[in-house]
């Protein structure tokens, strides 16, 4: 019982993320964009060349954050992005993230009537090459955003997005096919 309580209290402590946060803490937004990437690489994250962070993203999850997150080359992350990596999160190359984009790889099942919050369910998320995720868009577990797709600002993506489409709304639906 005591071991369970100890794990619940410190089980989500991630020394790698703590070190990265300490090394980048003094940097204001839009300063040290490449330094943030270098620090995350230093602590074990897989991030391609040319990628920039205009603020340290919030990277959370149960375990193995550095193994569950893979980011391609020449991506742009604006400030305030939140990446929950309880399962694999793969971001292709040339992907652009607007302000405060949130990607979740886990959720909960609906539980019994006495407690609706059920067990955790984790599903991978993939954002393919060349996508643009608009500000404050929300990508839910198990979703694949196809290559060249655009997710409009404020959209909630609950299912796969085909390549070269513009989706918008809550839930996100196809608004336009792109060339």
- Half-sphere exposure in the Cβ direction for 15 (13 Å, CA): 0
Q: Is 99 a catalytic residue?
A: no
Alpha-carbon distance 156 to 168, whole Å? 8
Q: Which residues pair with 125 in a beta bridge?
A: 89
Please give the angle made by the CA atoms of 162, 101 and 129, to the nearest 5 degrees. 40
Q: Which of 114, 96, 19, 33 is nearest to 65 (CA)?
A: 19
Catalytic residues, by residue number, are 108
């Amino acid at each position: 019982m005591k071991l369970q309580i100890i794990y619940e209290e410190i089980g989500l402590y991630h020394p790698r993320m703590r070190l990265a946060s300490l090394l980048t803490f003094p940097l204001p937004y839009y300063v040290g964009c490449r330094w943030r990437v270098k620090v995350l690489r230093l602590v074990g994250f897989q991030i391609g060349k040319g990628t920039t962070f205009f603020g340290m993203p919030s990277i959370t999850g149960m375990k193995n954050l550095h193994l569950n997150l893979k980011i391609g080359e020449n991506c742009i992350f604006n400030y305030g992005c939140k990446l929950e990596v309880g399962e694999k999160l793969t971001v292709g190359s040339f992907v652009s993230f607007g302000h405060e984009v949130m990607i979740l790889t886990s959720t909960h099942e609906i539980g019994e009537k006495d407690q609706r919050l059920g067990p955790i369910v984790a599903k991978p998320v993939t954002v393919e090459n060349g996508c643009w995720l608009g500000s404050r868009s929300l990508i839910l577990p198990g979703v694949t955003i196809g290559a060249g797709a655009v997710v409009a600002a404020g959209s909630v993506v609950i299912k796969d997005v085909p390549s070269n489409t513009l989706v918008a709304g809550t839930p996100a639906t196809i608004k336009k096919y792109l060339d």
